[in-house]
Amino acid sequence: MLDNKANLLNYVNGAWVQSPGAEYLNVTNPATAEVLGCVPLTAADEVDRAASSAAAAFPAWRRVPAPARIQYLFKLKNLLDANFEDLSRTITMENGKTLDDARGEMRRAIENVEVACGIPTMMMGDFSEDVAPGVDEYMIRQPVGVAAILCPFNFPGMIPFWYLPYALACGNTVIVKPSERTPITMQKVFRLLEEVQLPKGVANLVNGGAATVNALLDHPAIHAVTFVGSTPVARHVYSRAAANGKRVQAQGGAKNALIVLPDADVTMTTNIVTDSAFGNAGQRCLAASLAVTVGDADRIFRPVLAEAASARVVGYGLDPGVQMGPVITPESRARIQGLINKGIEEGAEVVVDGRDAVIQGYERGNFLRPTVLDRVKPGSTIAKTEIFGPVLGLMHVDTVEEAVQLVNSGVYGNMACVFTTSGAAARKFRYEADAGNVGINIGVAAPMAFFPFSGWKNSFFGTLHAQGKHAVEFFTQTKVVVERWLTEWSRKF
């Protein structure tokens, strides 16, 4: 197993390799400030070795029949199950989320492996007989080639699995680049991939930051790029990869609003909204950032949301009973504190103030407590900016129409949710919300592995999304064959 204090390694062409001459960054437990390991910022020449080995492995791997390719995934699933607890604890240690959240994340990762085991069916083509006399036409799906999978810090276990199992099962070879802030989970996953004994070069792991990403985006042997991270970087990755002729999908940031109607169930809604806002310390792309109360919901929900936020137990995610961990870095904490200050300057009222959190025993951790800001002004910084921290802004409107308008006025479109007991209001919202993931009495509308993770607007650049059938389409190219065979019958035409 990985020695946690050691330099992390890359996995290239079936071997663990030190990154020669690379600079290293500390990987730090955000709750304790303990250094867990050092991650190499891989330079372009080593990216080239990884891309070349993935390209060299591709012709043989694509010829392995799909039913045989998925046997590796069945083995991987069993190994992920067997190492579930260790992987979940690793996520908590490097990311800070609670162990329960980390387990949920790994469960989602495994579900994607399970869905990708259906590739022999999911990759099937279409056949049309007699498109002209004696002529048949069919479409087959073939793998794209080498895929680069670029990941953010906030789901170090799950997000690589939105892509990895589909890419492999479709016959592609891959290079995974985890976030340099949370690279240890993938280091462990690749130990499991090693046990699965994929052919050399089929799955590669390259660590690093922006320069490593850019080397991957520019490498001519890479044909497909997936990215999940912040919107400015998503935009950069999308345009640079596309300019280099690659197919690319880039999922970006978010500013998710939840609408609460006066008829919503009070206890359920309060629990769900606060879980959404403060789970993973607000560091989810599906975190509730704004709650828009409609009419009398202001009076009903303001006090109970504040009470639930104040009651949240903050601490180290491995400790029992903890409901919220730290944010990822001291810089992140300072940025979030700055945004709260800005919100107050802009006229928001502090209902719950989580800026100065000190957790006994974890004084060096990057902790904040939940913060609730009321009377957030439309158009203000705090109303528009992705905070990516445990801050819930409250806004109030008189009608559902105004609430939908407010939700749709933002530049992001990752998620929008409504809380109500009215079917008509829910349908109107589902129909009109400009967001790709919609929740109805759900606060984190994360699609299951067999549905696409459907961001819109500035939350997504591309056409095909992560997971399920979209991933199969993304990792395959279609080939259409028109075929004539002369027969006695077709000779007559």
CA 431 – CA 441 distance, rounded (Å)? 15
Residues 6+ apart with CB under 8 A from 365: 30, 31, 32, 33, 96, 316, 326, 359
Which is nearer to ligand NAD, 214 or 408 (by Cβ)? 214
Quick check: is 285 catalytic? yes
Q: Which one of 83, 172, 414, 476 is in contact with ligand NAD (CB under 6 A)?
A: 414
Handedness of CA 55, 177, 241, 409 (dihedral sign): positive
The catalytically annotated residue of 117, 151, 170, 285 is 285
> Is the CB of residue 42 less than 8 Å from the CB of residue 10?
yes
**Plot region of 49 (φ>0 → left; ψ -120 to 50 → alpha; else → beta):** alpha
Tell whether residue 213 is a contact of ligand NAD (CB under 6 A): yes
Point out the residue whose Cβ comes nearest to ligand NAD: 229
CB count within 10 Å of CB 356 equals 9
Tell whether residue 154 is a contact of ligand NAD (CB under 6 A): yes
Q: Which one of 436, 439, 447, 455 is in contact with ligand NAD (CB under 6 A)?
A: 455
Which is nearer to ligand NAD, 58 or 453 (by Cβ)? 453
Q: Which one of 179, 204, 226, 476 is in contact with ligand NAD (CB under 6 A)?
A: 179
Number of residues that bind ligand NAD (CB under 6 A): 29
Pairing relationship of beta strands 15-17 and 10-12 according to DSSP bridges: antiparallel
What string marks each residue from 34 to 73 as x (binds ligand NAD by CB under 6 A) or -? ----------------------------------------
Handedness of CA 66, 72, 78, 83 (dihedral sign): negative
Q: Which one of 11, 161, 429, 453 is in contact with ligand NAD (CB under 6 A)?
A: 453
Distance in Å from the first CA to the final CA of the chain: 69
**Sequence-ordered strand ranges (E) for 8-155:** 10-12, 15-17, 23-28, 35-41, 126-132, 135-143, 146-150
Tokens 């607000």 sit on residue: 282
Q: CB 94 → ligand NAD: shortest distance, Å?
A: 12
Inter-axis angle of helices 184-196 and 66-82, nearest 10: 130
Tell whether residue 94 is a contact of ligand NAD (CB under 6 A): no
Q: What is the DSSP letter of 393?
A: E
Tell whether residue 326 is a contact of ligand NAD (CB under 6 A): no
Which residues are bridge partners to 37 per DSSP? Answer: 27
Q: Which two tokens stand for residue 157?
A: 């276990």
3-state secondary structure of 377: coil
- Measure Cα distances from 66 to 61, 176, 191, 323, 417 in Å: 10, 21, 23, 42, 39
Restricting to residues 223-252, name those near ligand NAD by CB under 6 A: 228-230, 233, 236, 251-252
Tell whether residue 105 is a contact of ligand NAD (CB under 6 A): no
Q: CB 228 → ligand NAD: shortest distance, Å?
A: 5
Q: Which one of 58, 153, 166, 367 is in contact with ligand NAD (CB under 6 A)?
A: 153
Tokens 């961001």 sit on residue: 455
Amino acid at 179: S
Only segment of 76-84, 94-102, 144-152, 260-268 that touches ligand NAD (CB under 6 A): 144-152
Q: CB 179 → ligand NAD: shortest distance, Å?
A: 5
HEC string for 28-56? ECCCCCCEEEEEEECCHHHHHHHHHHHHH
Only segment of 173-181, 295-303, 371-379, 471-479 that touches ligand NAD (CB under 6 A): 173-181
Tell whether residue 209 is a contact of ligand NAD (CB under 6 A): yes
Q: Which one of 152, 165, 413, 462 is in contact with ligand NAD (CB under 6 A)?
A: 152
What string marks each residue from 353 to 392 as x (binds ligand NAD by CB under 6 A) or -? ---------------------------------x-x----
3-state secondary structure of 402: helix
CA 58 – CA 204 distance, rounded (Å)? 12
Which is nearer to ligand NAD, 79 or 254 (by Cβ)? 254
Only segment of 37-45, 175-183, 419-427, 484-492 that touches ligand NAD (CB under 6 A): 175-183
Tell whether residue 285 is a contact of ligand NAD (CB under 6 A): yes
Q: CB 96 → ligand NAD: shortest distance, Å?
A: 13
Side-chain-facing half-sphere of 336: CA atoms under 13 Å: 32
Q: CB 211 → ligand NAD: shortest distance, Å?
A: 8
Residues that bind ligand NAD (CB under 6 A): 150-155, 177, 179-180, 209-210, 213-214, 228-230, 233, 236, 251-254, 285, 386, 388, 414, 453, 455, 459
Which residues are marked as active site?
Answer: 285
